[in-house]
Structure 1
């Protein structure tokens, strides 16, 4: 014990922290290894590392004879190996306690290693570094457990959604079956078809829920495995093994994000039935004839705007107040258009370059720029043509019956109406109105006023919030039965969506007040409007 103390306190060079090798003494009385002091003076001034006393110029290092003799008499020190798993593990190279952590190499080192091997590396005290790493791991555990809680909550929501879908499908099936049993024998084929569609939709919706449940279950399993790995690492006593396994630990799993909405829409199933049995829509879709559970279950999914019915059908609900209509529109548009700017980029693939039909233009409307621009003059531009509108309206040459189509319009000011119409839209002026877009069941229109927007269909008006920009977009998705209007300035945002079963070709149609100008925007890369047999094919 005395020999070990003598070695550690008196026989150790303060530079290399090892036993003296060829010891020399400076004039101040401090001793060092010859190579250590010479190497130190190459990097800094000639002075004693202990007391900073300058070394005289021209002086030579003197060998410490007494210290050298004593070193020769002492036995060679052999480091005693200690348990690798004990709390006082020693350096395998120098036999000293592992007191530091080399961040550059990711190793536990002793004081001698910091001089010889890690002198220019980033180092920290071993216990300090361990506390830092343990705090990081504990933070990861907290994040992991939060993800577990979130995933478990989403699984519960999936269970509830699955029950609602099951209940809605069951109730809807029962209601439809009850109606069909009271009809004539010739309607049984339609009944089977409708129930089959509902069953397919239910299976698809439940299949989506099951897929999400499987994905969340696998995510939970992976999170649990990661948590066990971290807990095992935190319980590792050996520092070297701890840091070695820490480097092999994978990064924490990313969160799966919000739970997607279920693909179930009872309202859409009823609309399909409406298309098959148009004369019986009032009987089949009357609110009092359907169990309340059907509407409640359908509300669980992202259903489209309510209060909008197919042409020729009676409304399912009473007419809402203005506040209810505005609130309903805002909620529905949030569900359907979560990222309007992204939707705008998708719509470019369906862009159509349209032109006005001179034969339909009112005599006060002047067409220019190759029939791409129309201006309402205060004086007639000539006699009225046969088949032209007596109203201040003009129709496009192009029409669409299937597929999806998108076009953009720039207006000079407010007091204009954009819409689509069946071919049978009346050309005559009836009453005091100067337009008839949306006044009947065969047209749909969005009227832009100075301080409001009005959505018109079948003589019913719905006032909307906001004031759109001068650049507007129209998306006609005949496959989905949806007509959507956008404001494109200063940013893309949906204004209103109509849902209907479009059974005839649709023509874009416009109304504009005196002094207004309306321009059909063209894109050089836009495709020509497809022929009827090509319209059902989506763009590449």
Structure 2
């Protein structure tokens, strides 16, 4: 007998046949049957008032076998009291283990309906044609499936980890080769410059020596000196620019991972520069028409730059969004995040010290070396840029959506407070910026 059947038998033995509930103060009649004291007394009280054949006074029939039993012969059954208490506390007899429709133990699992059923349900029309398994077997099969899925996940992630490790080594080797090539170019350039310097020093010494001679002798030796000067070819060596790194970090699958944190970022029209137009393509309407002079100087509106911030404010978690760009001019744009309390009335450098973590975008301008007050500038910006904010890690990273390459990462111990997406355009007719379904440009 399995545990479920044993629990079922225990339930039957601990149940009163009158109230169909567990025994309360059980008593035994003369015929050996058990009932709750209240239940049997109530049953006999009702029998007193019924008309029928005459019975001996104080004698009543047993509700189960109908044998006559004197009322005074009810004996307490203390053992059954303990059994009933055990049945109440047995978790195998809780309501969740019984079929709600038939009050039978749930022993089967219907594979078609993916639901547990009892033996009575199995014979019903609803499940008669379905494939069923014992609950233990279905549970074992499910555990095997979970185990297989867990192993498959581990294998696939091991493959990805191995592939990423190999890709990491490949990129590091490429970067090492680039470093060695650049160093060799610099060494060759230095050797060429050293050789030319020595030749020029020698020629200079000869000229100084001849300048001390007599005029006639100096003129006689001048022909040879001028010939050596003509034969001395001073060449500028090829310039190697260490600041420009050709090897680009592209992590396969990175964009798919980042999109797991993607937000639908929307610019806030109430923060937009007065002449910054926002057009919502989904609703086909302007969000920020040119304000009147009286409303142009709102408390939250940017007045120093053609900027706007997002409606969202982030103070925890990881968040990712993408911005499309169509740059027409060479004016500087800026993109990233800013503190929610940055100055909106004054012109300040867009640097972390002032609450801005941004990259600048331009065409044709020489990149500026990042410094305490100078953001990173891209001279060949991609048409789409992804921004990833990891608030707890204190990082803001920028990626090219076009080829998946990493552009730049700001990193600090912690952010000073809530951050908002930040968008800043150049002068009029310098292009457009697209955030989600909103297009922004500066009115000319």
Q: Normalising by the residue count of structure 2, what TM-score does the alignment of the two structures yield?
A: 0.38
Q: Normalising by the residue count of structure 1, what TM-score does the alignment of the two structures yield?
A: 0.32
Larger Rg: 2
